Amino acid sequence: MSKQKVLLLYPYYWPNYKAGGPIQSLYNIVGLFKADVDFYLFSLDHDIDGSKSEEVLPLEVWCKGPQNENIYFAEELSVFKVFKLIQNLKPDVILINGMFNLKTTIPGLIYSKLFKSKIIISPRGMLQEWALQRNSKKKKIFLTLLKFYLKKNEIWHATDLQEEEDIHKIFGNKQRVFFASNIPRQVGQLKSIDFNSTRDSIKLVFLSLINPNKNLHLIIEAISKSSSRFTLDVYGPIIEKEYWKRCLAMDFNKDQIQYKGPVLPWNVPSVLMNYHFFVLPTQGENFGHAIFDSLSAGVPVVISRKTPWKNIDTANAGFYIEIDDHTSLSNVLTEISQLTPDEYYVYKSGSIEYARNYWKQSSYHQDYRFLLSAATEPV
């Protein structure tokens, strides 16, 4: 029996990583189902900031990736080029990732309409309120046109309940939405550093894209006003340079807060284990792979409530902050600074247990198989 041929449409894939969580999500999907599905992906040969990997990438031909997936690397992708590639490939299912990557989204939609191909649309958080606020006029125009173009009962992939609500709110309640959570990295064996005494420095880490959505400036502001025991290392690609300049212009101790640069995805767990707390006061996350990586390494998290991660506080896996309350993060840092080593160990253990329970309760195989099979069934 031949394998199902599935095309994952997104303009970036391995070895690129600076375009954020969707790359990691797609990589993990491929890893979980590579024995049963033939995956195909198009990818630019450079990252979102124009930088190139040290990997030697063959261009304009299909080649094998690290998980035996089929990848087509190109210097540029256009609507016409991607359409012709899809036409030649003739996939069984097209999974469109993201809403506003027009050079991959539009040809996928057009091909599906012309050739009655099966498609699944996965917004990847791009319909969340915070995501629609940036370039809002252009996005509203595109979504309005898309509503007229799509059928009333397209198949959608939602990674959480909020995304399901967003899909129905914008495109109507007749849309068929299937739930399948993002697939995180497996819980590893790495464990974080200990909290030896109340006099030690408390090492905080921010690891994410650097743009206004992640609210790095709130962390800098809070640390500048708090105990000198805190240090912050900032990791991640600078996506919006003007925002980064704003952060650098803030009044803070340069020895206390330092920028360490981007981190290759496969090095993330080993970086995180060198810190006491992971901090991300984000305006919204579709998943937050680094949050899970942190928990699985035994690094408690300090995050906003605008993520899919629930009951972090009651599970003793970290703290929530209210990003609209400028005292909230400072109050949490004060509480952290007063922890004893034994109290910190409770949070460290709670983080690992939270990650393990998440994997135990997951139904990834079942959910994604159901999603892919739904796309091939007649309506």
Check whether 312 has a pLDDT greater than 60. Answer: yes
The boundaries of every CATH 3.40.50.2000 domain in the chain are: 4-181+362-376, 202-360
Check whether 197 has a pLDDT greater than 70. Answer: no
Check whether 188 has a pLDDT greater than 70. Answer: no
Higher pLDDT pick, 163 / 374? 163
Inter-helix orientation angle 341-360/289-296, to 10°? 120
Calpha distance 183→34 (Å, rounded): 14
Q: Note the pLDDT of residue 73.
A: 95
pLDDT, mean of residues 276-292: 91
How would residue 110 be classed by pLDDT, with cut points 50, 70 and 90?
A: very high
- What CATH superfamily is the domain 202-360? Glycogen Phosphorylase B; (3.40.50.2000)
pLDDT per position as a tens digit, 214-272:
999 999 999 988 877 899 999 999 989 999 999 999 988 888 999 999 998 888 988 99
- Quote the pTM value: 0.84
Q: Note the pLDDT of residue 321.
A: 93
How would residue 361 be classed by pLDDT, with cut points 50, 70 and 90?
A: confident
Residues 6+ apart with CB under 8 A from 23: 10, 12, 13, 14, 16, 17, 265
Check whether 79 has a pLDDT greater than 90. Answer: yes
Quick one: CATH architecture of 4-181+362-376? 3-Layer(aba) Sandwich (3.40)
pLDDT, mean of residues 274-281: 95
Q: Note the pLDDT of residue 189.
A: 65
- Contact status, residue 216 vs residue 234, Cβ threshold 8 Å: yes
Residue type, 253: N
pLDDT, mean of residues 344-350: 93
Calpha distance 336→39 (Å, rounded): 45
User: Counting beta carbons within 10 angstroms of the beta carbon of residue 275, is it exposed (0 to 12), middle (13 to 18) or buried (19 or more)?
Assistant: buried
pLDDT, mean of residues 193-220: 86
Q: Note the pLDDT of residue 343.
A: 92
Which residue in this structure is represented by tokens 């909290």? 195
Query: SS3 breakdown of the chain: % helix, strand, coil, rounded to 5?
Result: 40, 20, 40
Q: Note the pLDDT of residue 153.
A: 79
**Lowest mean pLDDT, pick from 55-59, 69-73, 237-241:** 55-59
Alpha-carbon distances, residue 259 vs 202, 220, 235, 268 (angstroms): 17, 12, 6, 15
pLDDT, mean of residues 59-86: 94
pLDDT, mean of residues 32-61: 89
